[in-house]
């Protein structure tokens, strides 16, 4: 059987780091919004094998980005944890067509993992209830529970496991720009603990990122100069977004940003 799914990206409309927990995770308060940028996931399941829970599942990752085709991929971790928890087994090949930039704060890997959890649970006749899927998702990554909920916009708290859907009243288009440089989420949290900037941004990581990389601040200013209602870093970066009411302004901004040598990716998307 072949299962085809879309794994959507997200932006953080706001992100507050509340405190560091004893387990070294950070308690967060963030508003996540899903956008139309997505990876394409194809899961090939070997039929007739799922009735043998004592068997060891064979999980293989294929990816358009060869550097992500390994056991460290969140999609692999999601499948492995699902099989161990549900006590079922199957041989599967997970083929990921990457469109969401990596190390961008757009949740691409987390979304891929969430789609795998949902797809396998659906294949096995919803063997795990929703609350257990959220628990599994939280073990994999802070953004994964939001994607498992499969909703447009939500307030996410704790380490991402406390999710409150909110009405999505946003209008307009969202511009996404990913510079050529990456930001490690792990390093970003370590730097936040060290510096803990006072700032007026909606994302606590913004001040830190702009301090460390002046080009990011330049890109942020350009987005605002072209008429965005809001511009911000998403997640820990390095991608930024701008929300535009005027599509012509957004297109002009894309054209300007794509002329820069330090831009890897820039385009306009919808809220979904």
List, by residue number, the catalytic residues: 10, 143
**For residue 18, how many other CB atoms are within 10 A of its CB?**
12
CB 232, CB 206: distance < 8 Å: yes
The alpha-carbon radius of gyration of the chain (Å, integer) is 19
Q: Pairing between strand 162-165 and 173-179?
A: unpaired
Whole-angstrom distance between the N-terminal and C-terminal Cα of the chain? 28
Where residue 149 falls (left for φ over 0; alpha for ψ -120 to 50; beta otherwise) is alpha
CA distances from 269 to 19, 117, 152, 175, 261 (A): 33, 25, 14, 6, 22
Residue 172: other Cβ atoms inside 10 A = 19
Cβ contact 18:28 at 8 Å: yes
Distances (CA, A) of 127 to 19, 44, 54, 98: 35, 19, 17, 29
> Could you tell me which residues are beta bridge partners of residue 43?
3, 94
């Amino acid at each position: 059987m072949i299962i085809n799914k879309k794994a959507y990206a997200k932006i953080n409309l706001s992100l507050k780091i509340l405190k560091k927990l004893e387990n070294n995770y950070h308690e967060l308060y963030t508003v996540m919004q899903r956008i139309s940028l997505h990876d394409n996931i194809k899961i090939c399941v070997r039929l007739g094998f799922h009735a043998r829970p004592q068997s060891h599942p064979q999980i293989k990752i294929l990816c358009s980005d060869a550097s992500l085709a390994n056991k460290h991929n969140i999609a692999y971790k999601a499948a492995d944890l699902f099989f161990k928890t549900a006590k079922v087994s199957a041989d599967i090949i997970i083929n990921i067509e990457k469109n969401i930039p990596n190390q961008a704060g757009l949740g691409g890997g987390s979304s891929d993992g969430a789609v795998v959890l949902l797809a396998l649970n659906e294949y096995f006749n919803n063997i795990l209830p929703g609350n257990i899927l959220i628990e599994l998702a939280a073990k994999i990554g802070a953004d994964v529970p939001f994607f498992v909920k499969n909703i447009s916009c939500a307030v996410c708290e704790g380490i991402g496991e406390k999710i409150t859907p909110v009405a999505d009243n946003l209008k307009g288009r969202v511009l996404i720009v990913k510079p050529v440089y990456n930001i490690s989420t792990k390093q970003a949290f370590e730097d936040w603990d060290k510096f803990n900037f006072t700032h007026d941004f909606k994302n606590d990581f913004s001040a830190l990122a702009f301090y460390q990389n002046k080009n990011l601040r330049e890109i942020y200013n350009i987005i605002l100069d072209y008429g965005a209602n809001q511009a911000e870093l998403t997640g820990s970066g390095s991608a930024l977004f701008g929300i535009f009411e005027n599509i012509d302004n957004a297109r002009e901004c894309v054209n300007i940003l794509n002329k820069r040598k330090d831009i890897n990716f820039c385009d306009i998307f919808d809220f979904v």
